[in-house]
Amino acid sequence: MSYIVNDRLYWPGGRRKCLTLSYDDGVTQDLRLLEILNKKGVKATFNLNPGLFGQENTVTAGKKEVSHIKLGEEKIASTYSGHEIAAHGFLHTSMYGMDSARCVKEILDSRAALEKLLGHPVTGFAYAFGAADETIVDAVKKSGLRYARTIKSTCNFDIPQDFLLWDPTCHHNDEKLFDLLSEFLSDEPYFNFYSPAKLFYVWGHAYEFDQCDNWDRIEEFVEKVSGREDVWYATNTEIEEYVRAYKNLIFSADSDYVTNPSAISVWIGGVFDCKTKEVRPGETVSLLPKTIM
């Protein structure tokens, strides 16, 4: 016999599902992607290189050559309105092998430039080329950032335990994308001791849709996943802030009460039960009764 404490994380409103997207480089193809997302109310985080704003180039990367034109500085704030802008390095430099000082400069310069442009703190980062060794991760932390995304697919919906090494679920061209989508949208219980709530994280570059001639892929994905009351559509920062608020909850020693010292509401419940309880900012409440298994 075991007692299950109903103190697990659920998404806002008691939801069990959360979707977030992340796209790199700030290229002109983002404009078409934004049209698709905005039409359906799906949020994304866009990771930009302020030292390369306005530069025009092409990219091949083993596929057909397509344009790789960075949006100009004057268009950034209005273009990505309603979504999150995060840092991606000042010059999109691979920092593998660099000393700590140079890593911090590449990261912090990108953060500072974006903050000057946007007029608010930037808390997120995506590793250029997925480069994330111990020195680079430490530099991200020293630069005051809250999370950093890798390019290592998990093919699951687990909530990360270390947001400075935030592995996405999959790339948008992953052959498992739509199988994962079906699993994500399913109401079948998702077993995880940390939380039964699912987090579906898709990443990529918008220019890849031109390379692969598959804009219909993201259109189909967004059409199927959007407009659902049981899904929280969030940016990367919104997710990190919410999980941090959950981790800051203060539980009584007997697991009967909980206090929320944060500025946002948090929903908690059990692993095997759909019942949840909202813990409002500054509030102390009793937990749902323990479950006997």
At 110, list the tokens: 């990108």
Task: Choose the final residue of a domain: 244, 261, 279.
Answer: 244
Confidence of residue 293 (pLDDT cuts 50, 70, 90): low
In a domain, 5, yes or no: no
Q: What is the mean pLDDT of residues 59-76?
A: 92
Our count of domains for the chain comes to 2
Clarify whether residues 86 and 170 are in a common domain. yes
Q: Is the pLDDT of residue 244 over 80?
A: yes
pLDDT tens for 182-211 read 999 999 999 898 999 999 999 999 999 999
Clarify whether residues 71 and 156 are in a common domain. yes
Q: Say what the pLDDT of residue 160 is.
A: 97
Give the predicted TM-score (pTM) of the model.
0.97
Q: Say what the pLDDT of residue 1 is.
A: 59
Q: Is the pLDDT of residue 100 over 70?
A: yes
Cα distance between the two ends of the chain:
6
Confidence of residue 219 (pLDDT cuts 50, 70, 90): very high
What is the CATH classification number for the domain harbouring 62?
Answer: 3.20.20.370
What mean pLDDT, rounded, does the chain reach?
96
Per the listing, tokens 């016999």 go with 1
SS (H, E, C) 43-100: CEEEEECHHHCCCEEEECCCCCCEEEEECCHHHHHHHCCCCEEEECCCCCCCCCCCCH
Clarify whether residues 156 and 261 are in a common domain. no
Q: What is the mean pLDDT of residues 225-241?
A: 98
pLDDT tens for 101-157 read 999 999 999 999 999 999 999 999 999 999 999 999 999 999 999 999 999 999 999
Q: How far is CA 23 from CA 6, 101, 171, 266, in A?
A: 35, 27, 10, 28
Give me the domain span that covers residue 280: 246-292
Q: Say what the pLDDT of residue 3 is.
A: 75
Q: Say what the pLDDT of residue 291 is.
A: 79
